[in-house]
């Protein structure tokens, strides 16, 4: 009877274990990261009798979780990809919305400036029309500067998010290391399922910040690696993500993996995925592209309109002063530099400024010192072997030590610098004319035909071609001497200077920084007199040239409208592409979750059915014990008689 009671007891205990496991599953059906558990049973074996082997009942082998390491790894990988795509799409959406303001945006402000200038063309003598130009110029500057400020704020927020994400990842790495220690201490042949689930949940959450893969050791602990193979957790020791100024570019933060005394920088590519990688990709690629394009717009506006101002005279007859001020390029020396060199950079032609920043590296080449300038937007580079002369690239002038200007100190081979040019120019973009009277609407000189001319030559236009020509404000007379040539004469009365100016019929006549568009044919002795304008306040020729800038290539050979449209298209395309990538990533993540859930998830309908099954087993096992007891009682009763 003891054998039958033992069989019933083992069945009772097995049924109880199954009931308890099923109840545990039902209780944790909605617990994140929980894997369904099941009690594993095995026969207790048997013993030999003359009639064969009789069974001894059932043993509870272990309680194991339904787990597939490949499905879990796929879920982690897709989580990292979705997190990176989602974070980048979120931030790009904000840039797209920031630029897409068609009612109060930058394009509207520029059009309003053009309308105000067109009004001045019609009324150059009207102080209110002149003042309206200054008001519109200031509004344009405020909107451009405000747009750059919003992008800067977005950059600061991105830096803060990177630091916060790194801190959260560190907490998870520490938690995984502590769970490794507890799992190793649990030891034995039975796995601590709930601890394993908790660790897997942390690993999955860690993939939301950076892509992490794990390898299970014989003692149940996991070794966690970053996408680039760097160790994140080994046993009960966890690495740490630190955020610090980049030594090459101190204005920017970088992510560093600290493992003991080893410090390894991690970029978006080496992180492989996760929110940190998405934020780094946005900051270093998408946001930088937007900021440099905005800076290029500011440089083009300042360069073109300031140059046009310098070509004319204001209402008082004074040479035109700059209409806009521009931010100043910055040169950041690497903290690793061995020398103390300082490199100077200034904008010499804003209309040629590229939408990029630059990197400079100094080397002692075989032929002497050499600076290598690299444009960061496309990687194009220039080598400069003569530090005593400046290097001019993309409308910028770079001055090196041993040269002149702001460059000082002595470089050491391997020294590097980052030049913030287009990315900082918009921050200082302001309208600087003090009054409408300072608007240079007129030109200093005009061309008049001689009163005694007998030919049919007429003057169709008179424009300043070279603002730097020393003779641009000097009165003169051009006398036609035949043979398609004019004689330059000066003085009162005009006398020959011995200078002959060639002329091709049908083409403009160039003289003293001026271009004179003529039509018809002169006779010998006909003259064109270049004289000062009597009243610059009523002259609108330079104002007309300012209006024409709207159709000129003032932003890297593009019109302002085309360059601004390109900025909108670039931002919109990036945002749309990021959203598409996010949608694909989310779909793949959903598939991975479904596959993982089908393997490890709790199905309440199935658990309810098992609950009834195990309950019946428990009741049947109790009946076995009851039957054994009845048989034992019957045997005792027969013996007593």
Element (H, E) at 607: helix 604-640
Separation CA 374–CA 360 (nearest Å): 6
CB neighbour burial string for 177-201, b if at least 16 within 10 angstroms, e if fewer: bebbeebeeeeeeebbbbbbbbbbb
Residue 517: which of 459, 447, 453, 445 has the closest Cα? 459
Give the span between the Cα atoms of 46 and 25, in whole angstroms. Answer: 32
**Residue labelled with tokens 């617990």:** 31
Q: Residue length, the chain?
A: 641
Q: Compute the distance between CA of residue 407 and CA of residue 371 in angstroms, rounded to an integer.
A: 13
Element (H, E) at 3: helix 2-27
Cα–Cα distance measured from residue 499 to residue 506, given in angstroms and rounded to the nearest whole number: 22
- Cβ atoms of 58 and 43 closer than 8 Å: yes
Q: What is the DSSP string of 512-535?
A: TTEEEEEES-PPTT-EEEEEE-S-
612: enclosing H helix or E strand: helix 604-640
pTM of the model: 0.85
10-residue mean pLDDT profile of the chain (641 residues): values are 76 86 85 83 80 80 83 89 93 90 81 95 94 95 94 94 94 94 80 86 92 88 90 91 88 89 89 93 94 96 94 91 94 90 93 94 81 93 89 93 71 92 94 93 91 91 81 87 91 85 89 88 92 90 93 92 92 93 92 84 83 85 82 76 59
What order of strands is seen across the sheet that includes strand 253-259?
Answer: 240-245, 253-259, 262-266
Summarised one tens digit per residue, pLDDT across range 287-338 is 999 999 999 999 999 999 999 999 899 999 999 999 999 999 999 999 889 8
Measured CA to CA, the distance from residue 21 to residue 537 in angstroms comes to 95
DSSP string, 278-321: HHHHIIIIIIHHHHHHHHHHHHHHHHHHHHHHHTSB-TTSPBPP
Looking at residue 362, its pLDDT comes to 92
User: Over the Cα atoms of the chain, what is R_g?
Assistant: 41
Q: Provide the CA 612 distance to its chain's centre, in angstroms.
A: 58
What's the distance, Cα to Cα, between the start and end of the chain in Å? Answer: 20
Closest CA to 28 of 591, 600, 618, 617: 600
Residue with tokens 């109790």: 622
Distance CA 184, CA 236 (A): 9
Q: 307: how many CB neighbours lie within 10 A of its CB?
A: 18
Q: How far is Cα 480 from Cα 528, in angstroms, rounded to an integer? A: 8
Where are the strands (E) in 173-321, listed by range?
A: 212-216, 222-226, 231-234, 237-238, 240-245, 253-259, 262-266
DSSP per-residue codes, 452-519: T--S--EEEEEEES-TT-TTTT--EEEEE-SSSEEEEEETTTTEEEEEEEE--TTSPEEETTEEEEEE
Distance CA 420, CA 418 (A): 6
Give residue 406's pLDDT: 62
pLDDT of residue 641: 59
**Element (H or E) spanning 55, and its range?**
strand 52-55
Interior CA angle at 300 toward 298 and 303, to 5°?
105
Predicted local confidence at residue 345, as pLDDT: 94
Strand-pair partners of 53: 48
Strands (E), 307-457: 324-325, 330-333, 344-347, 358-365, 368-375, 381-384, 391-393, 396-399, 416-420, 430-431, 445-449
H or E element, residue 155: helix 127-186
The tokens describing 227, both together, are 């996408």
DSSP codes joined into one string, 531-552 = EE-S-GGG--HHHHHHHHGGGS
In this structure, are residues 355 and 556 in contact, taking their beta carbons and an 8 Å threshold? yes
Contact at 8 Å (CB) between 341 and 333? Answer: yes
Neighbours of 356 (CB within 10 A): 22
Q: What is the pLDDT, as a whole number, of residue 425? A: 95
Tell me: cis bond preceding 597? Omega within 30 of 0 counts. no
pLDDT at residue 360, rounded to an integer: 94
- Give residue 391's pLDDT: 92
pLDDT at 239: 92
């Amino acid at each position: 009877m003891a054998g039958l009671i033992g069989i019933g007891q083992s069945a009772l205990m097995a049924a109880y274990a199954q009931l308890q496991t099923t109840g545990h599953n039902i209780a944790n059906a909605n617990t994140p990261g929980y894997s369904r558990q099941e009690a594993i049973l095995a026969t207790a074996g048997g013993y030999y009798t003359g009639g064969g082997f009789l069974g001894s009942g059932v043993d509870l082998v272990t309680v194991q979780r339904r787990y597939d390491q490949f499905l879990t790894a796929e879920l982690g990988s897709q989580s990292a990809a979705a997190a990176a795509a989602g974070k980048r799409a979120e931030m790009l959406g904000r840039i797209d919305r920031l630029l897409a303001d068609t009612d109060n945006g930058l394009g509207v402000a520029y059009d309003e400036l053009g309308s105000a200038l067109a009004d001045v063309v019609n009324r150059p003598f009207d102080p209110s029309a002149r003042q309206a130009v200054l008001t519109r110029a200031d509004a344009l500057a405020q909107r451009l500067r405000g747009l750059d400020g919003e992008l800067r704020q977005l950059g600061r927020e991105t830096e803060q998010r990177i630091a916060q994400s790194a801190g959260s990842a560190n907490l998870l790495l520490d938690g995984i290391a502590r769970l490794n220690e507890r799992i190793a201490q649990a030891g034995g042949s039975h796995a601590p399922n709930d601890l394993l689930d908790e660790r897997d949940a942390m690993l999955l959450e860690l993939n939301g910040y950076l892509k992490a893969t794990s390898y299970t050791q014989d003692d149940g602990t996991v070794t966690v690696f970053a996408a680039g193979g760097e160790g994140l957790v080994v046993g009960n020791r966890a690495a740490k993500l630190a955020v610090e100024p980049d030594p090459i570019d101190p204005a920017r933060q970088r992510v560093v993996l600290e493992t003991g005394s080893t410090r390894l920088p991690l970029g978006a590519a080496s992180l492989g995925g996760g929110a940190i990688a998405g934020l780094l990709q946005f900051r270093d690629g998408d946001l930088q592209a937007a900021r440099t394009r905005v800076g290029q717009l500011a440089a083009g506006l300042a360069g073109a309109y300031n140059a046009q101002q310098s070509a004319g005279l204001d209402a008082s007859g004074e040479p035109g002063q700059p209409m806009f001020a521009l931010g100043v390029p910055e040169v950041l020396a690497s903290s690793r530099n061995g020398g103390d060199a300082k490199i100077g950079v200034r904008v010499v032609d804003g209309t040629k400024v590229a939408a990029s920043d630059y990197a400079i590296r100094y080397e002692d080449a075989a032929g002497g010192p050499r600076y290598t300038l690299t444009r960061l937007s496309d990687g194009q580079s220039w080598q400069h072997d003569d530090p005593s002369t400046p290097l001019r690239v993309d409308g910028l002038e770079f001055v090196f030590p041993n040269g002149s200007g702001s460059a000082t100190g002595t470089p050491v081979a391997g020294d590097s610098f980052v030049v913030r040019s287009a990315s900082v120019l918009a921050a200082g973009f302001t309208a600087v004319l003090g009054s409408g009277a300072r608007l240079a609407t007129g030109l200093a000189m005009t061309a008049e035909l001689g009163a005694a001319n007998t030919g049919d030559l007429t003057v169709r236009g008179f424009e300043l071609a070279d603002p730097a020509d020393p003779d641009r404000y000097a009165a003169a007379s051009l006398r036609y001497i035949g043979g398609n040539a004019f004689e330059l004469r000066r003085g009162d009365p005009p006398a020959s200077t011995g200078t002959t100016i060639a002329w091709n019929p049908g083409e403009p006549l160039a003289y003293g920084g001026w271009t004179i568009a003529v039509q018809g044919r002169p006779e010998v002795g006909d003259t064109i007199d270049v004289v000062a304008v009597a009243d610059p306040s009523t002259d609108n020729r330079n104002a007309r040239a300012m209006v024409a800038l709207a159709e000129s290539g003032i932003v890297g050979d593009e019109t302002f409208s085309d360059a601004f449209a390109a900025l909108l298209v670039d931002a919109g395309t990036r945002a749309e592409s990021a959203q598409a990538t996010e949608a694909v990533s989310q779909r793949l993540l959903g598939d991975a979750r479904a596959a993982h859930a089908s393997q490890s998830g709790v199905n309440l309908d199935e658990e309810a059915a098992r609950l009834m099954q195990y309950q019946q087993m428990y009741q049947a096992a109790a009946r076995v014990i009851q039957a054994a007891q009845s048989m034992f009682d019957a045997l005792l009763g027969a013996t007593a008689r």
